[in-house]
Structure 1
């Protein structure tokens, strides 16, 4: 690929990431990651949330004084469900933090890291030439350290 196309592609990808936003891209990528690799955990988390909410709604409808045995059983069920939900949420948060670190590293490599590589790879290639004598003796300093004079 020529130098100008490489620079164009690099600037285009960098500006696209900047325009969309790194946080938005991370959320979209994490949702896709969950669907592909952790679909059972996501389904289990949603089912547990739904179960806790229905049990809590039933608990609120039950009188603590009139039906104490049923209320106590529902209360223990809600407490156990909330503890399980908290455990799953902490696991999901740890998974998301690890994914975010990997995703941010990949975005940095895709934008900034590739800029360093392109600069190193094309360090001796001139992007454009100026007519000789425009800068006089400064031409050598402007071409320093790798570019050809002129």
Structure 2
């Protein structure tokens, strides 16, 4: 059943990516995307940004007003500032509560769509072979391990296939990270060498010019 093989591999890949980038980072990205859509939260965010701009403008005007020479104007601006600040804090608190609910919902959906689906597949297909091993290729104890826990002897179970996919994905991921780090290190080293060569070349040119002046 190649479809199950591919599905398990994709699930393990998605789980690995989530663990690599972090659930908090993914939630923040989804929250920003959610705020770009025509939702109640996006309206709240837009109103909060506008309120923040007005609050900063009012704060600048308040700081530019003397509390001694222009007390009446200063007191009026102070009341407006405090009232607007209270509105901003309420809006911020409401938005934070909405974001917490959003994060909880996304986390639950993400778990159901990854680990929950993986556990369901492993339970549902635990007795079915993913593929068969040619007879005589491995000893009896290896056949037993590959078919663990309930797949037919001589086949590979979905649990073992999941572990194999995870191991392969981790190995390839580590290799890619090492390759990128090596490439960045080589580029940085090359730039450093070029900078040193350029720095060493300039004094030599100045020294040669100085010698010519001295000879003249």
Shorter-chain TM-score: what band?
A: 0.7 to 0.9
- Residue 66, structure 1, aligned to residue 69, structure 2: yes
Which residue in 2 is equivalent to 1:15? Answer: 16
Contact 1:123 1:146 in 2 (8 A): yes
Which consecutive residues of structure 1, in runs of 5 or more, have no partner in the other structure?
Answer: none
Q: Larger C-alpha radius of gyration, 1 or 2?
A: 2
TM-score by length of 2: 0.62
Of 50, 55, 59, which aligns to 2:53? 50
- Whole-Å Cα distance in 2 between the matches of residues 114 and 9 of structure 1? 11
How much has 1:128 moved relative to structure 2?
4.2
- Whole-Å Cα distance in 2 between the matches of residues 140 and 119 of structure 1? 17
Could you say what secondary structure the match of 1:2 adopts?
helix
- Whole-Å Cα distance in 2 between the matches of residues 90 and 82 of structure 1? 12
- Decide whether aligned partners of structure 1 residues 127 and 62 sit closer, same or farther in structure 2, where only a CA change above 3 A counts: same
Moved more, 31-40 or 127-136: 127-136
Aligned length: 149
- Decide whether aligned partners of structure 1 residues 139 and 76 sit closer, same or farther in structure 2, where only a CA change above 3 A counts: same
RMSD between aligned alpha carbons?
A: 2.2
- Whole-Å Cα distance in 2 between the matches of residues 119 and 3 of structure 1? 10
Moved more, 62-71 or 21-30: 21-30
Which residue in 2 is equivalent to 1:77? Answer: 80
- Residue 40, structure 1, aligned to residue 39, structure 2: no
Which residue in 2 is equivalent to 1:149? Answer: 153
- Whole-Å Cα distance in 2 between the matches of residues 93 and 3 of structure 1? 40
- Decide whether aligned partners of structure 1 residues 39 and 143 sit closer, same or farther in structure 2, where only a CA change above 3 A counts: closer
Where in structure 2 are the equivalents of 1:118-133 lying within 5 Å? 118-130=121-133, 131=135
- Whole-Å Cα distance in 2 between the matches of residues 50 and 134 of structure 1? 73
- Decide whether aligned partners of structure 1 residues 144 and 20 sit closer, same or farther in structure 2, where only a CA change above 3 A counts: closer
- Residue 87, structure 1, aligned to residue 90, structure 2: yes
Could you say what secondary structure the match of 1:109 adopts?
helix
Deviations 1:23-64 (A, max 9, x none): 111001011112211222111100111111110110000000
- Decide whether aligned partners of structure 1 residues 129 and 56 sit closer, same or farther in structure 2, where only a CA change above 3 A counts: same
Could you say what secondary structure the match of 2:140 adopts?
coil
Where in structure 2 are the equivalents of 1:103-114 lying within 5 Å? 103-114=106-117
Which consecutive residues of structure 2, in runs of 5 or more, have no partner in the other structure?
Answer: 155-216
